Every structure is written in structure tokens, then in C-alpha cells.
Amino acid sequence: MTLDAVFKYIDDNLEQSIEDVMAYCRLPTVSAHGTAIEETAGYTVALLGEEGFETRIIPKRGDGFPVVWAEQKGRRADKTLLFYNHYDVQPPDPLEEWTSPPFAPERRGDAVYGRGVSDDKGNIVSRMLAIRALKAVYGSLPCNVRFCIEGDEEIGSPQIAPFMKEHGEMFQADACVWEWGYALWDGSPTLMLGAKGLLCVDIEVDGPNRDVHSSYGTVIPNPAWRLAWALSSIKTPDEKILIDGFYDGVKTPTEEELATLRMLPDDGSMFLESLGLHDAVLGVKDVDYRRRHIFEPTCTINGLTSGYQGKGTKTVLPSRASAKVDFRLVDDQDPDDVLAKLQRHLARYGFEDASILQSSSERAARTDMHDPFIAVAQRAAVDAYGREAFIVPSMAATGPMFHFVKDLGLPAVMAGINYVGGRDHAPDEHVRIEDYRRGTKHIAAILHRFAE
Amino acid sequence: MTLDAVFKYIDDNLEQSIEDVMAYCRLPTVSAHGTAIEETAGYTVALLGEEGFETRIIPKRGDGFPVVWAEQKGRRADKTLLFYNHYDVQPPDPLEEWTSPPFAPERRGDAVYGRGVSDDKGNIVSRMLAIRALKAVYGSLPCNVRFCIEGDEEIGSPQIAPFMKEHGEMFQADACVWEWGYALWDGSPTLMLGAKGLLCVDIEVDGPNRDVHSSYGTVIPNPAWRLAWALSSIKTPDEKILIDGFYDGVKTPTEEELATLRMLPDDGSMFLESLGLHDAVLGVKDVDYRRRHIFEPTCTINGLTSGYQGKGTKTVLPSRASAKVDFRLVDDQDPDDVLAKLQRHLARYGFEDASILQSSSERAARTDMHDPFIAVAQRAAVDAYGREAFIVPSMAATGPMFHFVKDLGLPAVMAGINYVGGRDHAPDEHVRIEDYRRGTKHIAAILHRFAE
């Protein structure tokens, strides 16, 4: 028994699938702005329906957007694989830095560009192709397949915790394939086994009730200065996060985990070069680079806003200043606990003029590298890529994996069409066609091997 | 001999003059954006021409905008008074904070609102009324009058130094009345005798050549963090400016200067209250407040820009971050020297990823409070306000006064229609009608007393 016919089907239908990705990505489904949500949920249901899935659109309570549920029975009734995806995308700005418009996807050379082609709509369409290929060759799916496709992952999956409490049963399975999977620059596959947690906040400092002539800088408190000082009290140039107790719950990597890092090629220097940079933070290289990236928590300024930002000068003292800041959390760090500690930190340092608005949070989760499902995904990697995948204990990014790994008790692995240079969340987000081909075959092979 | 008839003329024609201010302020002469410059220069020349002035529009070389020159002979051929003004205004944003549109001036209650009504078009029109009143009563001006009306004061009067070297002769006079003059909240007049210097810079930090997914905060340098740290290295929460040698050239106020501060009423607490604030910087009050405001140099963040600034979250690591910063300088502080010291400071602290773009600079200047022209302005204050003006050794704001006081050797004093609550440079800039009336009479009385 062989996957050759399935892979041939994928090769033969690849171009049409890329067209399907581009059509899907014309929808500007920016969850941060609440645009095209219902339309895209409906479009997603239609995509799944065409492949024979039973579907439902389940609303989240409160702030969240609807979740698309789908199910299709397979030959092995006792095994169910769950795919987690999301149909929303990041905001497209800065618009002027896109080579082609973010919501008018374009094929250029050996890649396809557009918001969502990599993160995450491209993966949804790729999974449809893998499923179609298996059914074309075998007449049915090898096992039961379920989908959980969120509409608000990019704003931190609000309400996912109560949603899973209420509807978790519908997403029960034996294993989970996460939203994406990353090839390295040279096309080598990886199997990522976890996701970091996340806490997103706006730190806003209020000053005078209006902008004031800057000559009053002698006497009128300046919220932009207060913000700069507040931020500098949180993290220092040596990258130490000074919030008391912030590192509680962070574990030291095991020898076995560090060994996986040593096996990985040095992608860091290539990534730095692609960004026009010479040095990583603190000058870390190779294994130290990957150790920071995979195992360390972060505190990152996402944006700063205050006062006059136009061209030329405007000598004002601004009435307010704000920073968007995210924390990527690891291991047992609890975002609620970090938020409380941040609030205490600002109070202790006298920043009573600063207020914190929490916009989203998520906990970290990881799957044990000895779980049998990892071996399944590894065998499938050999099928699709002709080589074993590199094991990566966690991705540096976040998703609501905690609710599947901890609440539902599923092993989860990341497999898909992405590569590390794909500019997710940034202008010119793209997927390489060859990664799309291999990643789609990997998904088909996982389904096949999982049912063996 | 009395000014009564002149003052009556001003009273009788005040409403029309306010209408003239509103018409003038409909021109959106934002020098920072280069809008309506030529149109406003022409409009200004027409205003002066109507009052019998000979006029010229003199281009500045390089970056600057044209200067309007005007002259009219008076009865005393041996005495010339120079008025300095500017026909440009500050940018109007944040637009949403204006009660009425900035360039559609509106009379509300006992004040007139719009960009430029206070700073500085209102003063130009007021001076036209004072001149018209004197000529209506006496048939001619009491002395020669010249005007120097810049078009780029709000962007720091670029090219003023070479311009004055080339054309200084045309602006020779015996004394100078500066662009404006401020009443206190209760309407009491002041005579301000100087202006602070100014250095405006953009500090820009470059990071990766594009925005990156914020999960790379572990390893990719973040220009927003670098900017926060760079700014915090420049000034600390105790308001000390840490640039080595920054305070060189700052003089300690004399006992006589401090005495003028003690005479002034406590306007600070009223101003704080109008801004919705309880405490001034460092908690200073009363004389200490005024001492800081009048004699201390500043370093003020005017604006911050980096990364994502929209609603919701976007978890990016920004590719660049920038701050607009101005320094108000006093006494012998030299902006070129401060700029060089700032550059050395950033280099010394390892911020080689930060670049500084200088956008404007000016030196401080002050007139000796014992100059006879100050006594003239003081007698005129008694005429117009029925009381002596408070002497203020310097305003906290800036203008190109250095080139008139130092290059041309003129005593200069500030007199005009403004008051300290007029929201110059901010939304809802306004002038109180009663200040407009008194300030116009003061200008007429200064011309009259000067020729005595």
C-alpha cells in the first residue's frame, strides 16, 4: 500500500488549490477590525461542505467570533483526528509596504503573496486538497476527521475557555494537527510540539486634558515621558524583565530538549540576514539563539502612539501616550498572574497615571515528544519530504493550544504549508509553492498513517 | 493730549476687526505642511497695503518661506518701530478635539476660536486696527513703522540667520514689538522680555527591515524598546537631563529677576486646573513653578510613533520607532552644541541604531529690563489697561528674537491680544474679545508713547 496515487492527485490539483487559496484570501477577515467575519465563516463552511463535511457555525458568547465546526466519518470509526485552524487574519498595515495589495493575492515567481495565504487560510485550503486526494484515491477518509476553525485567533481567541467548557465534546478526538507547520529556509520539515502563552495589554498614560504648547515642558507632566519611563522600568537593555515574580513558572529545558535544539540547523543567521540585521538580541547565535527563541518568555512593544506624528515639527506636549505590549509566556506562567504583577509593578514605581487594558491572554501548552502521535507525524514526514522532520519542542508563537492539549487531553503537532521566511503578520506574507505541495502531502500522509 | 479718541476708534471698529481676524484665519497656512503659504503671503501684503504700507515679499533661500516686509513713514522721521509677526500657523490636529473646525473660525461667547486667531494672525489684524485708529485720529503715524512677517515661524524660522545677514538693513529700527503679548487669566497685562531657544529633532531607531511577528521578541532587536531606553537615558523621572554638558551656558537668575517672579500672581494652579491636573512636574508651586517655567531649559517628547497603533491587537515587532523631541534652551545654550552633545550621548550609551534628524533650531534672547523701551511699553500699559504690566524676564516659548535683539541690537518687548489660557498650538485655540480690545489699545499706545 502506497501514498503515491494520493501524492499524484495533489500534484495534479495543486495549481487549482493555489487559486482557491487566493480566492479565499480576497476576503479581508481582520478580526482586530471585525471585518468580513460572517462572510468568511460562511465561505469556510462552504469549502468544508464541498468536501463532504457536516458543518456548524457555533457562536461564542461575549466578545468572540463564531467557530466553524465540521465532521466527516472515515473508515476507522474508532479514530478521530482533529484539525485546528482559524479563518481570521492579522490587520494588513503598514499598507504601503506591500508589493501587491494584501487582499488581492498575487502569484509571483515560486510563491503566492497575500494576507492569510500563510496564516492561516492557506492551510485550510491545503487540508481540503489533502482530504480530496485521499477520498479520490480511496473513496473515503481513513479515519474520522473533525475541524475546529476559529474566527478570532489573531485577537487572542477571546472566550475560548468558556467555549471549550460548553462545546468541548464536539471537538473530542484522539490527536490534533495544529493550524500550521513550518519548513526551514531549505525546505526541511519541522514538527513543533507546543505554543507559548500570551498576554496582550495596552499601557496608556494620561496627562493634560488636551495637547499643550511644548514650552510647558518645564511644569506640565508629559505622558510620553511617563510612558518611556514606565516601559524602561519593565524591561532593561540587558533584556531582563523586571516585573517582580515574572519568571515564576518558567522551567529550565531538559537535556533532551536542548538536544533537539542542537540538531536544528542555524536558521537564525539566515533570518537575521533577511531582515537586514547583523546581530540578534544580546548577540546570541545558533543554539543560544534557538534556546532563547523556543524557551524564553518575552515582553515586546508592538506599537507606540503619542502626540504629533506627522511630517515636520509640532511643538506640543501630548495629552496622552500609549503602548501596545505583548508578553509571550512559557511553561506554567499564568497570564492573569502576570497581569496582576504588571499592575503591582507600575503602582510600586509610582506610575499611577498609567492604566492597563488587557486585550487578550492565553496559556502555553506542549505535547510530550515521546507521544506515539509524534511518531505518526514523523513517519508521514518521511513519506512527504523524504526525510525526518526536526523536532521543535515549542513554537515561539501562540495559539489556543492549551484548551486542546490540557482541557481535551490531546497530543498536538504542527504540520502545514508554511516556512520560516513567510512574513506572517507582516507585509508581503507569502507561501512558497513547493512548501505548499510538500505540506499538503504531509497532511494527507498523517491522516493515512494515523489510521494504520 | 490724550489717546481717548484713538481708543474710541478701536472700540467702534472692534467687531469689524474680529471679522477680519476670522477671514484671515480661514486660510490653512500650516508651514509644517507647506499649505496656503503663497496665498497667505499675498493676503498679508493686501492687509498692509490697505493701511498705507509699502510692501515687499522677500523669498528666503533654501527651505524657508517668504518674508513679508512693510514700511510706512510717520511724523517723527528719526524713530522707527519694528513689529515682528508671522503669517503661518501650527498644524490643526488632533482635529476631533476641536469644538468648531480649526479653519472655520467661530465666535462663541466672549471669545473667537480658530487656528491662528491667537498665534499669530489675530495680532497682525489687531496691529492693523491700532494703526488705522492712530491715522484716523492724527492723519498719520506718530513714527516710522516697519513689519517683518515670517511665513515659517512655526517650523522654527529656517534660514532666518542668513536671511537677516542679507536683508537685516531693511528691518533696522530703534525698538521691536514682538509677535504677541499675554494677559493673565484675570486680564492683567504682562511685558515679556525674551524668548527661549529651541532645538527640534526626530530620533529614529531602525530595526528589522519589516515588521516581524512579535514571537521573535526573544531574538530580533526591537526599535520601540531601543527608543524607550534611548529616551530614558536622556531624561530621568526626576527631570534631570543627562546629556553631558547640556546645562553649560545656563545662568542662575539674578535677585532682581527672581523679584519679578515673586510679583506675578500664581497663574500656575489655574492653568493646571484648566488641564484637569492636580500637580505640576516635581510638585512645584507658585514662585518655584514660574522659576522653572521661565528660566529652565526643557527636553520634551512631542510625539511617539512605532508599529501598530490601530484598535485591537496586532502582535508585531515593529521595524522602526521614532520620537519627535524638542529642547527649549535658555541664556547661552547653543542649539548646535546641544545637538552635538545629544549625538555623543546616544553614541556613548550604545544607541548606534538611533539616528537624529534636526528639523529646526533657534537661540534664546532677552532684553534688559532697564532698557528705556520697557518703560515706554509700561506707560502704554497704564494707558490701555489702567495698570502697570507684570514684567516677565522671558517667555517659555521660542521665536527668532535672537536675530533682532543680538544681530540688529534692538530692545524687544511682547505686547498683544493673547492670554495664557488661549490654547496656542492646541485644539480650540482662542482669543478673548476683551483681551483683543485691550491688546489693540496697548499697541496703539506703544506707538504713541514711543514717539513722544
pLDDT in tens, A14-45: 999 999 999 999 999 999 899 999 999 999 99
**Cα–Cα distance, A32 to A27 (Å, whole number):** 14
Closest among B324, B183, B426 to A213, alpha carbons compared: B426
Residues A208 and A319 placed together within one structural domain of the fold: yes
Chain B residue numbers with beta carbons less than 8 Å from the beta carbon of A293 are 215-216, 218-219
Cell of B151: 511665513
Q: In chain B, count of helices (H) and strands (E)?
A: 13, 21
Residues 113-152 on A with a CB inside 8 Å of B are: none
In this structure, chain B runs to a length of 452
Asked whether the beta carbons of residue B228 and residue A225 sit closer than 8 angstroms, the reply is no
Going by C-alpha positions, the residue among B345, B403, B359 that lies closest to residue B31 is: B359
For residues B191 and B205, membership in a common domain is answered with: no
Hey, of B218, B287, B322, which one would you mutate to test binding to chain A, going by the most A CBs within 10 A of its CB?
Answer: B218
pLDDT tens per residue across span B389-446: 999 999 999 989 999 999 999 999 999 999 988 998 889 999 999 999 999 999 999 9
DSSP state at residue B328: E
Q: Which amino acid is at A83?
A: F
Domain assignment present for residue A280? The answer is no
Question: In the beta sheet, which residues pair with residue A239?
Answer: none
pLDDT at residue B120 is higher than 90: yes
Q: Within a domain: residue B266?
A: no
Say if A260 falls within a structural domain: no
How far are the Cα atoms of A331, B211, B270, B374 from residue B391, in angstroms, in the given order?
66, 53, 19, 9
Pairing of strands A197-206, A190-192: unpaired
- Dihedral, B374, B376, B381, B382 alpha carbons, nearest 10: 120
Mean pLDDT of A439-448: 98
State the pLDDT confidence band at A273, using cuts at 50, 70 and 90.
very high
The answer on B423 and B316 residing in a single domain is: no
With an 8 Å Cβ cutoff, is B209 touching chain A? yes
Which residues of chain B have a CB within 8 Å of the CB of A211?
Answer: 94, 97, 425-427
> Between B223-234 and B335-348, two packed helices, what is the crossing angle to 10 degrees?
120
A30 lies in a domain? yes
| Closest Cα in chain B to A330 | B215
At residue B43, the pLDDT reads 98
Section A57-67 average pLDDT: 92
User: Mean pLDDT of all residues in chain B?
Assistant: 95
Question: So what's the pLDDT on residue A445?
Answer: 98
- Whether A271 maps to a domain, the answer reads no
* Residue of chain A whose Cα is closest to the Cα of B293: A218
Calpha distance A217→A450 (Å, rounded): 66
Give SS3 for B402: helix
CATH number at residue B428: 3.40.630.10
For residue B229, which of B51, B396, B351, B369 has the smallest C-alpha distance? B351
ipTM over 0.95: no
Q: Which residues of B touch A155 (CB under 8 A)?
A: 312-313
Inter-chain residue contact A275 with B208, CB threshold 8 Å: yes
Cross-chain Cβ contact B312/A155 below 8 Å: yes
Q: Between A304, A317, A424, which is nearest B307 by CB?
A: A304
Residue A1 has pLDDT above 60, yes or no: no
A307 and A159 share one domain = no
Q: Which of B97, B311, B425 is facing A213, going by the closest CB pair?
A: B425
Residue by residue, what is the 3-state secondary structure of chain A? Answer: CCCHHHHHHHHHCHHHHHHHHHHHCCCCCECCCCCCHHHHHHHHHHHHHHCCCEEEEECCCCCCCCEEEEEECEEEEEEEEEEEEECCECCCCCHHHCCCCCCCCEEECCEEECCCCCCCHHHHHHHHHHHHHHHHHHCCEEEEEEEEEECCHHHCCCCHHHHHHHHHHHHCCCEEEECCCEECCCCCCEEECEEEEEEEEEEEEECCCCCEEHHHHHCCCCHHHHHHHHHHHHECCCCCECCCCCCCCCCCCCHHHHHHHHHCCCHHHHHHHHCCCCCCHHHCCHHHHHHHHHHCCCCEEEEEEEECCCCCCCCEECCEEEEEEEEEECCCCCHHHHHHHHHHHHHHCCCCCEEEEEEEEECCEECCCCCHHHHHHHHHHHHHHCCCCEEECCCCCECCCHHHHHHCCCCEEECCCEECCCCCCCCCCEEEHHHHHHHHHHHHHHHHHHCC
Q: Which helix (H) or strand (E) holds B348?
A: helix B335-348
Residue A82, strand partner residues: A146, A176
B6-23 confidence digits (pLDDT tens)? 999 999 999 999 999 999
| CB < 8 Å to A198, chain B | 315
Q: What is the pTM of this model?
A: 0.85
The residue among B211, B239, B243 whose CA lies nearest residue B224 is: B211
Give B179's DSSP letter: S
Q: How many CA atoms lie within 13 A of B164 on its CB side?
A: 20
Q: What is the pLDDT of residue B148?
A: 98
The better pLDDT of the pair B361, A55 is held by: A55
Q: Assess whether A368 and A355 both reside in one domain.
A: no
Residue partners of B240: CB distance under 8 A and separation at least 6: none
pLDDT in tens, B125-153: 999 999 999 999 999 999 999 999 999 99
A211 touches chain B (CB under 8 A): yes
Provide the pLDDT confidence category of residue A390 given band limits of 50, 70 and 90. Answer: very high
Q: A251 — contact with chain B (CB < 8 Å)?
A: no
Quick check: B302 contacting A, CB < 8 Å?
Answer: yes
User: Among A313, A343, A362, which residue terminates a domain?
Assistant: A362
- How confident is the model over B357-375, as pLDDT tens digits? 987 889 999 999 999 999 9
Q: What is chain A's mean pLDDT, rounded? A: 95
- For A253, the grid coordinates are 529545558
Cβ <8 Å between A210 and B97: yes
Chosen for mutation from B192, B241, B284, B301 (greatest number of chain A CBs closer than 10 Å) is B301
Mean pLDDT of A252-264: 94
| Pairs across A and B, CB distance < 8 A | 318
Contact map slice: A 85-104 vs B, CB within 8 A: 90-91, 93-94, 97
Please state, in angstroms and rounded to a whole number, the distance separating the CA atoms of residues B93 and B108: 21
B322's enclosing H/E stretch is strand B320-329
User: Does residue B116 come out as left (phi exceeding 0), alpha (psi in the -120 to 50 range) or beta?
Assistant: left
Chain-chain contact of B298 with A217 (C-beta, under 8 angstroms): yes
**End position of a domain, from candidates A315, A346, A362:** A362
**B68-93 core/surface letters (b: 16 or more CB in 10 A; e: else):** bbbbbebeeeebbbbbbbbbbbbbbb
Same domain, A422 and A335: no
Q: Are B110 and B216 in the same domain? A: no
End-to-end CA distance of chain A, in Å?
11
User: Do B142 and B226 reside in the same domain of the chain?
Assistant: no
pLDDT tens profile A318-344: 999 999 999 999 999 999 999 999 999
Residue B314 pLDDT: 86
Say if residue B242 is in the same domain as residue B148. no
Please report, as a single letter, which amino acid is at residue B247.
Y
Q: Which residue has the cell 477590525?
A: A33
CB contact B23 to A (< 8 Å): no
* Residue A29 CB contacts under 8 Å (≥ 6 apart), including other chains: A35, A36, A37, A39, A40, A87, A88, A89, A116, A121, A151
CA-CA distance, A143 to A175, in Å (whole number)? 12
pLDDT above 90 (res B156): no
Other Cβ atoms closer than 10 A to B5: 13
Tell me: do B185 and B144 sit in the same domain: yes
A425 at B interface, C-beta within 8 A: yes
Give the position of cell 499669530: B120
In a domain, A115, yes or no: yes
Q: Provide the pLDDT for residue B93.
A: 86
Give B240 or A270, the one with higher predicted confidence: B240
- Which one-letter amino acid corresponds to residue B64? G
- Containing domain of residue A313, as a range? 197-250+296-362
Residues A183 and A113 in one domain: yes
Residue of chain B nearest A239, judged by CA positions: B218
Q: Does residue B418 sit within a domain?
A: yes
pLDDT at residue A312 in the model: 81
Task: Report the C-alpha gap between A419 and B84 in whole angstroms.
Answer: 63
Q: Are B118 and B422 in contact (CB under 8 A)?
A: yes
| B185 interfaces chain A, CB cutoff of 8 Å | no
Instruction: Provide the pLDDT confidence category of residue A231 given band limits of 50, 70 and 90.
Output: very high
Q: Are residues A181 and A206 in the same domain?
A: no
d(Cα B168, Cα B156) in Å, to the nearest integer?
18
Question: Across the interface, which of A196, A289, A301 has its CB nearest the CB of B219?
Answer: A289
Q: Which of A190, A265, A187, A260 is nearest to A421 (CA)?
A: A187
Strands B175-178 and B412-414: parallel
Q: Is B323 on the interface with A (CB under 8 A)?
A: yes
A235 pLDDT exceeds 90? yes
Choose among A215, A225, A275: nearest Cβ to B220.
A275
Coil, strand or helix at B196: strand
pLDDT at position B94, please? 86
Residue A18 in domain? yes
Residue B287 burial by CB count (10 A; 0-12/13-18/19+): exposed, middle or buried? Answer: middle
pLDDT at A61 over 80: yes
In chain A, the number of structural domains is: 2
Q: How many CB atoms sit inside 10 A of residue A309's CB? A: 19
CATH code of the domain containing A333: 3.30.70.360
Chain B residue closest in CA terms to A360: B313
Is A258 an interface residue toward B (CB < 8 Å)? no
Domain limit, last residue, from B362, B383, B401 = B362
